[in-house]
Structure 1
């Protein structure tokens, strides 16, 4: 069923790209929510006098991506503990909020917020508000990350959002000492410190056995052997994830480059990077994944290990 999620995560330019990689997301539209003035302009809203939030709407097919998935992506791209705005953007117009359109969305939002507070032991300042109106922003603000890529990348990197996401969500959601005791050194460095293993000298580069690759941290299925191909890059390469919502993509500015990082959505493990130079017949994408970030489960052992439901993804 086609549905709409309405959210506010600070500067709306920064909240579109995180959703564009997921199957089931049909479009993302930015606009203004929660104020009294009809059809406000961007200039009016940014002054903070209209009561509106810079917001966005995600149009999605809930048979492919759930509302809870949408919320999980939302949390990992904002600072929900800030009640005065988001990062460099201060003021009521930049506060975070979830606008629900029905009781089902309201309950899901409340449960999701409660889970976050219990996990981190901190008050989540993101408001949960009944949706009364949504006014689409001017065309120049739609898909800003595409229309003004250079300015978007500079703003995103310097606004404080990028550093917060990397330092907080990618570092503070696990017991690092406990995890370090059960992973090998290379597995820990890759998944938790974003290290890249040596090309060609890693466990799964030349493995084309039938099966699936799961997150080394929590066992969540990430890739299928069906989508693995020889790329010559020295690391395992896949044309797509086994399920889109099991991974997330994020701009990575490390090492003086701009790349797209791939992380597991559930455990937040660093997996590798994705590039647009894969085989055209496979969709054109190359998910370049560190062997140390995954564990291979052979097809014949999938039932025993509890992955029977994923056998349909292995041909």
Structure 2
């Protein structure tokens, strides 16, 4: 079925999201509804010799040939015991489309990011692929880090220093850059690539709430925020506080609003760009376009 729910987007800057719940065996997972184009019944898959172990093959859908990723294999979990009930989630993010093979799709939940907890090591080795935990009365839903799964399959789709090298020689800068990014993998990639671009005075926060707390502490200490921070780079999907709400809070504060904010997220598409504009972001860049991000930092940094 096509995801008609896409037309009913949440009001921007409410710190809420909607997730599609799906299962792998007895395990419950979630994907941001914004990433979901449609949910379909399984189709015949054409195998690809030598493909990554997570890739089951390819299928054609409406004239497009898309890879099918086995979420069970990506998480090291058993294959479906009832393949007739399986579903394909057609997703789009990071400027690309793919299909995620799951076992069942159950329902859509609306939740607040401040109710989503940071994952811990209790999730039996899959914690590196979990971005948050949603506690429900009947159990927990784990939000998967689909970006890290895709980068594991094809590292060239991630953030790389090669993109920075194409910019040519660059001067080093000691200007302080703050980054709100929940994924440990992406924090490391951003640190390496921005460092290669000459920006070495970096401070990372795991979510928007921690970043906002830092900004508020600077103001409480009586300091000028522009003396402490020259620009903020923020992801959108983060536990506790998402990037849209963080941006809104900063831009509505008379003392903080001077700080340029760039949203750097896999969710930046032409259809969704208006959401960042509405909360006052100075610029928006889709991952993994790190060279474009660097050029915007050059233009906007105080």
Shorter chain as normaliser: what TM range? 0.3 to 0.5
TM-score, scaled relative to structure 2: 0.33
Query: Normalising by structure 1, what TM-score?
Result: 0.32
Q: Which one has the bigger strand percentage?
A: 2
